[in-house]
Structure 1
């Protein structure tokens, strides 16, 4: 009789604690989705711009499509990696400034990033002018290279748009103004479809028309953000152009370069894998199968990128606000949600391993080879669902240089060399190459988990407080 009241008392004491924990998770869950949801919409919309361009150009012919694909995958992928990486420095600095209530620094950081990115765009312009020669040096088809070179020259204005767009994007993300970005990107996507129909289909301007449509669309995306920033919606964060933007550029440049290197090593890793696969026996089948798998992975990666942005914003905001426990807690919530979605996508791949290849090809050899890669693809999707979130944490905390070193060792020191060895020496083909790539990604993920797990978040807060005290 005495035990029953005791058990009831213990349960009563335990329930509020459980409810408190559940409420804490629920509140953070809502904060995460408030950022991640619109960020996913933005990522998908912006990624779809190139997809729409390729769809319209594909109606012109196979050579034209191949030319545009080479520019998008080789040249544009190279430039976007650099520009997006340079802009990522703002994720750290602006996010922490918001948390620390140092809103006056946001506009200064943005202007510094614009300056560095525009100078970089100018330096990268010769690569677009010499695109034909570069592609021929890479032993690409001369006819395709010639068309790609002409298309690349017409897309030069897009480089300068991206130099302004990505920093503006990070400025807005740091302040959780992500719904504006989502709506503006969806509007731009709709305009892009219309412009391609006008210039490519209706006016018959071919590749030049496609390039013009892309330039206009990307500049619309950029100008809308800039107008939103400078026209009074951010009275504390934007106080006008300032000479302070030219001060401390060296320190800012170091973080920008670290961010760019970290991201580029990630992006170029997948390009390098395709180049290795291109030298295998039956290369056409191998490239087709791995391209199908990577295509699917990219779409699932759009979801993970949303949580990467969420992790970056939440961690940087909480560290800047001096809340180490909250920063640590949001890491767990972001990783858990993204991991659950990764499992969901992986299960779908495994359940449809004999069906999804038929969506992309009618060739039985390609279908068979792609089906064999289903298990590796499922595991890759799961890992790549968690990996960007850890990158987001690193960006939010300002660990870009450290993660760049980890990426280089895991990807280029282990993943690619072992992949080439398994693919060529041991004749394991595309499965061997991708297994090694996956091994590099898995090792990198484990190392990042260890780094985050051993982090003293109180010290991270002290570093930021010191930064703003003695800036």
Structure 2
């Protein structure tokens, strides 16, 4: 390759240029002309890392503080009594977790299509896609309301005692309003994130969290509304998220081009988008329910109290790590979706490499922390020496899971940004439920491993799923993905609102 091919880039990437001045177009042009000179890689890595952390930093805050809403509610219900805590906890895992998995999974379709639309500068299409998503989410919420109302019999059906199931039903019925908040908030969050609007979302999440602490204290300790009051307060806090996010979308100049008001176009040609939504929901639900199912199964072991406590404490730390990694996965999804929509296949590929390298290094540090402080971490949750010993025994497995957690969610985020949900749904079904879950049950119930056996089954499923996603990512033809992104947008958005020049991205 002659120097002529590099001339435009050398003008934009001279030795004195600042990282903030680099553009995706310049990076794409440089990466296309392989081999790339070694001296450019540190500059390109720094440029991509800056974009990644600008997105992921705020996305991590959103993920953690949204998770903390339920965490604080459970902490408060623990002071009402052990029975109330057990009912709220099992309802959170078995009922609320199921609903949130569906809503989060469906919303990943918004992340895919809006992310690619934003990269393609098809701004008008984004508002319509968000409205289509809300329509479908509300439809799902109506169906889920039936499960919430009759959650008592559902909890009994999965082996819970009558007393715990009764308390779980009280808590679940108080969360019915939350389902509809999920249905609106999840698409709106993804709609904003696809436009790289993340800092306002982080601020909103923190403000609502602080208000939630105050409201929960008033409802439970001052007004003495008990378990139902705690649940209704959690629902109220999620509606505060919805209201503030909607006000931002409607009145912020940042959304002037992407949100042009409600439109009947949201109900037109909804079937192609519905198919993407279903695939997205199945993909993430299979993943989320797998981890929740293992906690429920551990309660059926010969010594259920110790087993459930040890796995629950370990899963609590894994959940915190997962919230952190989900923020990075969201950023990865946004970056890949934006660059595919903009017609930058090489930058999308480079972004995948940078984010995976970053998360592997972070996970190594987190895994080391878990191993070093194995006893201290257990004592934060319990003073029972038997439970502490059981948790310490699971710590090496937790460290392995934390390391895998630095790879698997990121690859899932890449899959969402690329629109591979249907393929990954089949991968999750095979690796988690056909292989991982049966192995965990056999090791947990038919050997002396107990809780550790169930956890080994989880690890095996995650390893196989990670390998499958890694192979899928490595073998990806990113030029073909750019063409698929354009076709996906045409199918999901109404034809008349698309810029006729969008074919230029292919």
Task: Quickly name the TM-score band, shorter chain normalised.
Answer: over 0.9
Q: Which residue of 2 aligns with 1:81?
A: 101
Cα pair distance change 1:431/1:352, threshold 3 Å: same
Which of 268, 291, 296 aligns to 1:270? It is: 291
Judging changes above 3 Å, is the alpha-carbon distance between structure 1 residues 137 and 37 closer, same or farther for their aligned structure 2 residues?
same
Shift of 1:257: 0.7
Secondary structure at the aligned position of 2:51 is classed as: helix
Query: Which string of whole-angstrom CA distances, capped at 9 and with x for unpartnered residues, describes residues 405-431 of structure 1?
Result: 000000001001111112222332122
* The 10-residue stretch of structure 1 (397-406 or 344-353) with the greater mean CA deviation from structure 2: 344-353
The separation in 2 between residues aligned to 1:469 and 1:143, in whole angstroms, is 52
Structure 1 residues 23-172: aligned runs within 5 Å: 23-172=43-192
> In the TM superposition, what is the alpha-carbon distance from 1:232 to its structure 2 partner?
4.9
2:29 aligned partner: none
| SS of aligned partner of 1:385 | coil
Q: How far apart, CA to CA, are the structure 1 residues paired with 2:252 and 2:457?
A: 51
Q: How does 1:389-408 map to 2 (within 5 A)?
A: 389-408=410-429
- Give the match for residue 235 of structure 2: 215
Deviation at residue 468 of structure 1 after TM alignment = 4.8
Match of 2:178, SS state, is: helix
| CA–CA distance in structure 2, aligned partners of residues 455 and 356 of structure 1 | 41
Aligned mate of 2:346, from 321, 325, 329: 325
Look up the SS of the partner of 1:188 in the other structure. helix
One of 390, 397, 400 as aligned partner of 1:379: 400
Q: Secondary structure at the match of 1:313?
A: helix
Runs (5+) with no aligned partner, structure 1: 1-11
Residue 352 of structure 1 corresponds to which residue in structure 2?
373
TM-score (norm 2): 0.88
Which whole-Å CA distance do the structure 2 matches of 1:419 and 1:46 have between them?
30
Q: What's the CA shift string for 1:99-130, capped at 9, x where partnerless?
A: 00000100000010010001110111111111
Deviation at 1:286, TM superposition (A): 1.4
CA distance in 2, matches of 1:39, 1:198: 29
Distance 1:418 1:469, change over 3 A: closer
Q: Is contact 2:119–2:341 with CA below 8 Å preserved after alignment?
A: yes
For 1:197 and 1:358, the matched residues in 2 are separated by 26
Instruction: Give the superposition deviation at 1:148.
Output: 2.0
Aligned length: 457
C-alpha separation between the residues in 2 aligned to 1:286 and 1:469?
A: 51
- Tell me what 2:282 maps to: 261
Matches of 2:76 and 2:376, distance apart in 1: 27
CA distance in 2, matches of 1:226, 1:469: 26
Partner of 1:410: 431
Instruction: Please give the residue correspondences for 1:214-363 in structure 2 after superposition, counting only pairs within 5 Å.
Output: 214-233=234-253, 234-363=255-384
Q: Deviation digits for residues 66-106 of structure 1, max 9, x if unmatched?
A: 12112211100000000111111000000000000000100
**How far 1:58 moved relative to its partner?**
1.6
Long gaps (5+) in structure 2: 1-14, 16-35, 496-506
* Kept after mapping to 1: 8 A contact 2:116/2:489: no
* Deviation sequence 1:423-442 (CA, Å, 0-9, x none): 22233212222112101100
Q: Compared with structure 1, are the counterparts of its residues 249 and 363 closer, same or farther at alpha carbon in structure 2 (3 Å cutoff)?
A: same
Tell me the CA shift for residue 371 of structure 1. Answer: 1.2
Find the aligned partners of 2:226 and 2:370 in 1 and give their Cα distance. 37
Whole-Å Cα distance in 1 between the matches of residues 290 and 366 of structure 2? 22
The 1-side partners of 2:274 and 2:460 are apart by 32
CA distances 1:143-188 after superposition (whole Å, capped 9, x unpaired):
2222221222222111111100000000001001110110000000
Measured after TM superposition, the shift of residue 469 of structure 1 is: 6.0
Kindly report the root-mean-square deviation, in angstroms, between the aligned alpha carbons of the 2 structures.
Answer: 1.5
Further displaced range: 138-147 or 118-127? 138-147
Indicate the SS of the match to 2:122: coil
Partner of 1:4: none
| Cα distance in 1 for residues equivalent to 2:283 and 2:459 | 18
Using a 3 Å threshold, how does the CA distance of structure 1 residues 190 and 232 change in structure 2: closer, same or farther?
closer
* 1:378-418 deviations in Å (ceiling 9; x for gaps): 01000012111000000000000000100000000100111
Q: How many angstroms apart in 1 are the aligned matches of 2:119 and 2:135?
A: 25
Give the secondary-structure state (helix, strand or coil) at the position aligned to 2:214.
Answer: helix
Q: Secondary structure at the match of 2:374?
A: coil
